[in-house]
Structure 1
Amino acid sequence: MNIFKQFIKSFYSPKDIAMFRFQGIGKTILYVFFLVLLSIIPSVYYFGSALINGVNAVEESVKNELPPFQIKNGVLQAEQDAPIIINKEDFTIIFDSTGTVDSEKLANSDNTLAILKNDAYFIAGGQVQSLPYSMFPDLSLTNESLLELLDTADSSLPIFIPLLAVVIFIFASGMKFIEISILALFGQFMNKMMLKNLHYRQSWRLAAYSVTLPTMFFTIMNSLQTVVPNAAIINWFVAIMILFLAIKEIPQPKKK
């Protein structure tokens, strides 16, 4: 059975998932990479779009709307009494040298660049990236030098975004392999409960296909930019239930 048929079967057929325990580990690993590739498409798309829109929005705002400023000795310095919030269509810029904005609340934002007193934050596609100015002790940045930097960044985006997609793919793959390995341990526990003859390597294969439904469900939710309450609990519950049903389909070992 090819990988695409396995993908479809994994949505609804625990019996077919149970049969996948006999296939080679290489094909299962390839399937996991395929699943991860599908799952990161919304994040890469929204993050890349926000990055392109963000560079253009920041460039326009630095030219016309932000006060003169300087980032020196790890601190943003500017003459302002209150934070400046600029809304550019679907992108928001927060500029605050006063220390008023609480960085912990930025996680609820979307498509936002926050230039704060000690850090800069970029939020897009559910991803929060922070950059403390203290990482660059010799940094001295002003309006003019930032515009030069943005101009360079704009021309580098066609290279940077694919590289970013690769980084997201590698990180997501690592997390998915950890998730599957933990799920396979649950599979071994179920194996003992149901008195099946299932080795860990076979349990790992079943776990790889059992995560298909929850993974694609949250991929669709991400593409719709919809937040699912208790997402982690739902993800684990659905994956464990599918794995349980798949192990249940395995015949009992014959008694000697």
Structure 2
Amino acid sequence: MNIFKQFIKSLYSPKDIAPYRFQGIGKTILYVFFLTLLSIIPSSVYFSTALINGMGAIQDSVKTELPSFIIENGEMQSDIDVPKIINKDDFTIIFDSTGTVNQKELSNSNNTIALLKNDAYFVAGGQVQSFSYSMINDAVLTNDDIESVLATFDSLLAIIIPLIVLVIYIFAAGLKFIEISFLALVGLLLKKLLEVDIQYRHTWRLAAYSVTLPTIFFTVMDSLKTLVPNGAILNWFVAFIILFLVIKEIPRPEKK
């Protein structure tokens, strides 16, 4: 059975997932990468679109609306006493050299560029990218320098966006493998409960397919920009139930 048929079956049929415990580990790993790729499509699209739109917004704001500032020794300095917030269409630009705004306040933001006292942040599609001013070493940056940097950055978006999406994909794949490995450990407890003769390598394969339904559900919710309350708990609960039903489909050894 090819990977696409397995994907469809894994959405609704624990009985069809059960035989996958015998397939090669390479095919299962390939399936995990395929599932991860599907899961990051909405966030990658939103992130890329927001980045392209945001570059135009911040370039215009640096020229016309932001106060004069200087970045030196890893710190931004200006004459403002309170943070300045600029709303442009669906984008928000936060300028704060006072240290009032912190990263935690940005975690719930959407489509935001924040130039803070020690770092710059870009938030889009549920992804947060940061840049520390200390990375520019002893260089001194002013408004004019930032305009030049932004113009260069804008011209390189065709290269930068795929690289950022690749990093997002690798990070998401790592988390997915960790999730599956932990769920496979839970599978060992289930196999004792259900008295089924399988080993960890089997439960790992089964866990990889058991996470399909919750993964696709949250992918759809991301595409609709809908926040699911207690999403992490729901994700683990659904994956656990599916794995339980899958292991339950495995024939038990006959008792002598």
Q: TM-score, normalised by structure 1?
A: 0.96
Structure 1 residues 225-234 or 202-211, which shifts more?
225-234
SS at match of 2:107: helix
Distance 1:161 1:131 in 2: 16
User: In 1, distance between residues paired with 2:100 and 2:31?
Assistant: 47
Residues in 1 aligned to 2:53 and 2:89: alpha-carbon distance in whole angstroms? 9
Q: Which residue of 1 aligns with 2:199?
A: 199
Question: After the TM superposition, which segments of 4 or more aligned residues of structure 1 sit over 6 Å from their partners?
Answer: none
Which residue number in structure 1 is paired with residue 99 of structure 2?
99
Q: SS at 1:108's partner residue?
A: coil
Secondary structure of 1:12's match? Answer: coil
Q: What residue identity is the alignment partner of 1:219?
A: T
CA distance in 2, matches of 1:97, 1:28: 49
Distance, in Å, in 2 between the alignment partners of 1:154 and 1:136 is 19
What is the alpha-carbon distance in structure 1 between the residues aligned to residue 163 and residue 102 of structure 2? 31
- Paired amino acid for 1:5: K
What is the CA–CA distance in structure 1 between the aligned matches of 2:106 and 2:217, rounded to whole Å?
26
CA RMSD of aligned residues (A): 1.2
Following superposition, the deviation at residue 82 of structure 1 comes to 2.0
Unaligned 5+ runs, structure 1: none
Correspondences of 1:10-89 after superposition (within 5 Å):
10-89=10-89
AA aligned to 2:132 is P
Q: CA deviation at 1:156?
A: 0.5
Paired letter, 1:53: N
Structure 2's unaligned 5+ residue stretches are none
Matching of residues 1-256 of structure 1 within 5 Å = 1-255=1-255
Aligned AA (1:171): F
Q: Give 1:66 shift.
A: 0.8
Shift of 1:91: 0.9
Q: Describe the superposition over 1:226-247 as per-residue Cα deviations: whole angstroms up to 9, x where unpaired.
A: 1111111111110010000000
Q: Distance in 2 between matches of 1:176 and 1:31?
A: 11
Cα deviation for residue 7 of structure 1 reads 0.7
User: C-alpha displacement at 1:254, in angstroms?
Assistant: 2.6
